[in-house]
Structure 1
Amino acid sequence: MNTDDTLKYWTACMKAADLTEKTIRERLIFIRQLARDVDSLETVTRRDLIQWTAEQNWSNSTRVHRRSGLHTFFAWMQDEGLRLDNPAYRLPRVATRKREPNPFTVDEINQLLQSGIYRKTRVMVALHYYLGLRVSEIAAVNGDDINWEARTIKTIGKGRKEATLPVPAALWPLFHQMPRTGYWFPNRTKNKLHAAGQGHIMGNSVSGLIGEAIKRIGLKHRPHDLRASLATEMHEAGVSDFIVQRSMRHSNMDTTTKYLLLRPEGIRHGFDLLPELNMPERSGRRRALPLAA
């Protein structure tokens, strides 16, 4: 079986497992890159994979993800009898580096909104911040998914999880400026999902538009940091951690804490709430009398 046949069969297996189109597409791009750089997927060795991964200019989180992806793919090849071994078994474990949350301040978001960006980009920023939508979810916003009476919006997140979110009062006037039916951000050119003019833009287009605007005003942020702003500002406003987690649509609190920046002022406020102790000025112990000569 040649590489094309292998990847076609792998694609069929992933579809049979009901993986999302995005997951399948990203996995194929990655393995095709590997196939171009090595002699053969059937004969590549553990040493080859180590050398190949070492040469890639990946971020730490991507490196962790790719290591897992290699193991998954070659385990599949082994299960299907396309290889006798799994060369990705026990690849060097990636030392994970925790990235500190880097939320925008409210002043920075206002600076971004007032920097001359177009209305649609302003709406993207607002959806990112007020609702915590991911870029792929923003790209697919459709007026038909909004309940204009209940003031809610339906979205499909990671793992095809559907969620209905209440629209906050500050965001609602912007909704009335956008189409009541159809995609808010239609694609003018063909992309991986839709023919030209027949769908919506991709998430990377949303990320690119906001990212360029951020760069122009010199802020040290990624678009995704707007989600961290949602979590951080809600937490600092005294919203319960459970509601913050549900607002971010995370399965567990550990993921939510990766977005929460505990600012020094908040920590100091927590310290200041501790019950005050009665601190004596002196020990109250008598000094020992000197020994007689």
Structure 2
Amino acid sequence: MDLLTYESWLTEHGLCRNTVDQRVAFVGRRLKAWGTLDLPPSFVVEWLLGYRGWTRRTYLMHLRSVYAWMVETGQIEVSPVSKMRPPPTPAPRPRPLTADALNEAMSAAQGHLRTWLLLGYLLGLRCHEIAKVRGEHVSETTFYVLGKGGREAELPTHPALWALAQEYPRTGWWFPSVQARRDYISESQIGNKVRAHFRELGIESGSVHRLRHTYCTTLARNGVQPRVIQELMRHSSLDTTMRYMDVLSEERAAAVRTLSPGWTTTPADQPAA
């Protein structure tokens, strides 16, 4: 299978660079594990059923894409996942890291890995946004981000990130690719290395996106107004931002204790009517 031809096919169909990279990387991993994609539906479906939620849904979309290309180019006659329905969309829930987990992960990280963690926690950047950072994007006051759908934004630069920027080129990619066909590192490389780092520390489901959840939740706990957080998260809807904010049981209890009724709560001491 020619992955470069598949990559060109995806690009010609108008998919963004981020999605193209994800799908090509996924197919490469499946080819390495399976040897071929020309497999019976029972095998592919059984493999997919080993995953749940967003993971199964994402993998199914990747497989539908590559099998559509294979059918179109005459490599197979029928897609083995053509009749498989996507699983229900899981209800989103916030997944911030605990303070202890965050401190442990930061303390154990070095080099580019530590920079990726800081970009996730201090700016709330996504994997593909981290991959595309250039020296020209960073000043002492603003940090330019090329986000989802090509949307541009300027965020306030945290002092710790400005100090870190002195260790990186003032022009060009911060994380250049070692592959000739790419200019900058792929988001899958960043995501895989970050997840491996968390696994080594015994932190379950660690990822760059959990740092984004931590960024949002920490801002909320520090008293930042929701509309400000929405702007920093670069969400078009405040409802989306709220899904990133976790609430602890002790925070709910503390909220109730802020209520101060202006009347007595001991009716037994009052004279009967």
TM-score by length of 1: 0.70
Change (3 A) 1:12 1:186: closer
CA distance in 2, matches of 1:178, 1:253: 34
Aligned partner of 2:107: which letter?
Q
Find out whether 1:21 has 2:6 as its counterpart: no
Contact 2:217-2:244 at 8 Å conserved across structures: yes
Contact 2:131-2:184 at 8 Å conserved across structures: yes
Residue 171 (structure 1) aligned to one of 154, 161, 167: 161
Per-residue Cα deviation, 1:102-123 (whole angstroms, up to 9, x for no partner):
21233432222222x3232222
TM-superposed CA distance for 1:248, in Å, is: 1.6
Residue 230 (structure 1) aligned to one of 191, 215, 221: 215
CA distance in 2, matches of 1:70, 1:207: 20
Residue 103 (structure 1) aligned to one of 83, 96, 99: 96
Give the aligned partner of residue 244 of structure 2: 259
Per-residue Cα deviation, 1:148-201 (whole angstroms, up to 9, x for no partner):
5xx2122212212122222022332112222212222223x327x42xxxx322
Give the aligned partner of residue 281 of structure 1: 267
Write the mapping of 1:153-164 to structure 2, written as runs, cut at 5 A: 153-164=143-154
Per-residue Cα deviation, 1:231-262 (whole angstroms, up to 9, x for no partner):
01000111111221221222223332332111
Aligned partner of 1:217: which letter?
L
CA distance in 2, matches of 1:58, 1:186: 33
Contact 2:199-2:206 at 8 Å conserved across structures: no
Write the mapping of 1:45-56 to structure 2, written as runs, cut at 5 A: 52-56=44-48
Per-residue Cα deviation, 1:198-235 (whole angstroms, up to 9, x for no partner):
x3222222223333332232223412211111001000
Change (3 A) 1:12 1:37: closer
Which sections of structure 1, spanning at least 5 residues, go unmatched? 40-47, 77-85, 288-293
Write the mapping of 1:59-138 to structure 2, written as runs, cut at 5 A: 59-65=52-58, 92=85, 94-98=87-91, 100-115=93-108, 117-138=109-130
Aligned partner of 1:158: which letter?
K
TM-score by length of 2: 0.74
Contact 1:185-1:200 at 8 Å conserved across structures: yes
Give the aligned partner of residue 134 of structure 2: 142
CA-atom RMSD in angstroms: 4.0
CA distance in 1, matches of 2:153, 2:52: 30
CA distance in 2, matches of 1:122, 1:277: 51
Change (3 A) 1:50 1:235: farther
Change (3 A) 1:30 1:139: closer
TM-superposed CA distance for 1:75, in Å, is: 10
Name the SS for the 2:153 alignment partner.
strand
Give the aligned partner of residue 51 of structure 2: 58
CA distance in 1, matches of 2:244, 2:190: 20
TM-superposed CA distance for 1:69, in Å, is: 6.8
CA distance in 2, matches of 1:54, 1:268: 45
Higher helix share: 2
Aligned partner of 1:185: which letter?
F
Per-residue Cα deviation, 1:57-77 (whole angstroms, up to 9, x for no partner):
33311333456678889999x
Aligned partner of 2:91: which letter?
K
CA distance in 1, matches of 2:266, 2:132: 64
Which sections of structure 2, spanning at least 5 residues, go unmatched? 70-78
Change (3 A) 1:75 1:220: closer
Choose 1 or 2 for highest CA Rg. 1
Contact 1:144-1:182 at 8 Å conserved across structures: yes
CA distance in 2, matches of 1:68, 1:140: 25
Name the SS for the 1:163 alignment partner.
strand
Percent identity (aligned)? 27
CA distance in 1, matches of 2:193, 2:7: 31
